[in-house]
Amino acid sequence: MNFVTLEFATFFLFVLVAGWLLREREGEYRAFLLVCNLFFYALAGMVFVPLLLAVAVLNWGAVHLMSRFSGQPRKRKGVIALDVALHVALLAFFKYYEFLILGLESLASAAGLDTGILRHALPSMEILFPVGLSFYTFQGLSYAIDHYRCPDEPPRAFLDVLLFVSFFPTIMAGPIMRARQFLPQLGHRTWDSRDLQEGFALILSGLFKKVVIASYLSEHIVRDVFESPEFYSSWTILAAVYAYSIQIFCDFSGYSDMAIGVGRLMGFRLPENFRSPYLALNIQDFWRRWHITLSLWLRDYLYIPLGGSRRGNRYLNLIITMALGGLWHGSNIRFLVWGVMHGVGLAVVHAFHELKKRFWPDGFTPSPALHWCGVGAAWLLTFHFVSFLWVFFRAEDMERSLEILRRVFVFGQPGEGFPLLVIPAVLIGLALQLFGARLFAAFVDAQERLPWAVQAVVLALVGGFILKMGPDGVMPFIYFQF
């Protein structure tokens, strides 16, 4: 169910009213919320619900087994290893089955073997990918791994674990929560006037980003250029690259804003997922600002267990972590290239910092002019590095990705132009990085000074205006495919 639909608005209004009526009856509220979560997910496909239940059962069971094996580290390690292996197998089957078949066929063909035997043994299947699987498997795994690391924490009831894994505002595309962030809130939901105002403001913020900016850029330049770059000039292709950078930010951060806002109105505080990522001055800074909950998940559950920065292979660990982060998005080689290149970028940043410490151990204080020149150059380099890598994320295949990048630099190539309104749309997306937080705070402060009835009218008018500015039909959020 898309957040930008009348159906979701009706569903959410029902959840809000019932949640308010059940605010003093936590047991009944949990049962009600679970039904709402499962109903919401079932609308994406009833066939996927058993998979969601299986993830909850696996992690709940793993934690209970580890609790029983308290003081037996080898058995605890065996349980968590099995739990991780089962989740990896689950993701591999649904996301990478065909990719693995093609890889094995290529190896067999290179070795001169008959690929027909392989195809007979491992038949091709049209596998329908379960919506949100990548997100709720990571979320469930974090619960089990955290318990493995902190064995003194008592196991939670199955109902609580299922509520955590299936929480409807985040199940489709995050933010990826940790159990210690969410579970304590189940019995201590809180509201005040500021929570309500910020919740509604976050929903409007996400609505504006998705409906007005992301949808416009997708419809008026990104979709056509990425599908048929051969018809467009190099300047138009470059504009489309910039436009997609803004589109994916507004689309994904717009979803996160709405999810966090929905959670806030329900009495839950969800983790921040974006922090003006296009203000980053290097790739390390970018990943502290972009998809923050995934970045932290990869750091805590993959990079650090690989050895992190404590061992000599830090750079390899960074590249492996980001490569797997790329494959988390899908089985296409494009995502692997995207992840590896970000890993290389992170390794270069770390190496640069090491060199700076070696040659300037006491630090370096440039003149103001040199400082701001450096800041500008760092921003331009980071923004373009990220933007050009988004091409691999958006294009249909590697061949199309490389063709788009090649054509960007073939200056003077004739072709179609682009609507001039694309320029202000991109600039607004960039301006949100600088002024978005201040505008948000100013709007909430202004709302807080108004009577409730006037606040409701303002929210309705702003929401209606945003929807009026957007297209008739809003496409699903980009990250729903992951």
Q: Hey, where are the domains in the chain?
A: 6-189, 194-469
Q: Is-contact 130 48, C-beta < 8 A?
A: yes
329, 342, 353, 384: the active-site residue:
329
DSSP code for 416: B
CA–CA distances in Å: residue 351 to residues 287, 314, 315, 346: 17, 10, 8, 9
Q: Is-contact 42 249, C-beta < 8 A?
A: no
pLDDT of the residue at 194:
87
pLDDT of the residue at 118:
54
Supply the pTM of this predicted model: 0.91
> What one-letter code names the amino acid at 373?
C
pLDDT of the residue at 190:
78
- Digits of tens for pLDDT over the chain (482 positions)? 788 888 999 999 999 999 989 888 888 999 999 999 999 999 988 889 999 999 999 999 999 999 999 888 899 999 999 999 999 999 888 888 776 776 666 676 666 666 665 555 555 555 577 889 999 999 999 999 999 998 888 899 999 999 999 999 999 998 999 999 999 998 888 778 889 999 999 999 999 999 999 999 999 999 999 999 999 999 999 999 999 999 999 999 999 999 999 999 999 999 999 999 999 999 999 999 999 999 999 999 999 998 887 756 889 999 999 999 999 998 789 999 999 999 999 999 999 888 888 877 777 777 888 888 989 999 999 999 999 999 999 999 999 999 999 999 887 677 788 889 999 999 999 999 999 999 999 999 999 999 999 999 999 999 999 999 887 777 888 888 77
- Cis ω before 175 (30° cut-off from 0): yes
Alpha carbon distance 151, 141 (integer Å): 15
Tokens of 345: 């970028």
Tokens of 107: 């190896």
Alpha carbon distance 37, 165 (integer Å): 9
pLDDT of the residue at 429:
96
CA angle 114, 115, 121 (to 5 degrees): 110
In three-state secondary structure terms, 442 is helix
Specify whether 329 is catalytic: yes
Alpha carbon distance 248, 254 (integer Å): 9
Alpha carbon distance 395, 407 (integer Å): 14
pLDDT of the residue at 114:
62
Q: Is-contact 5 479, C-beta < 8 A?
A: no
pLDDT of the residue at 92:
86
pLDDT of the residue at 421:
93
In three-state secondary structure terms, 84 is helix
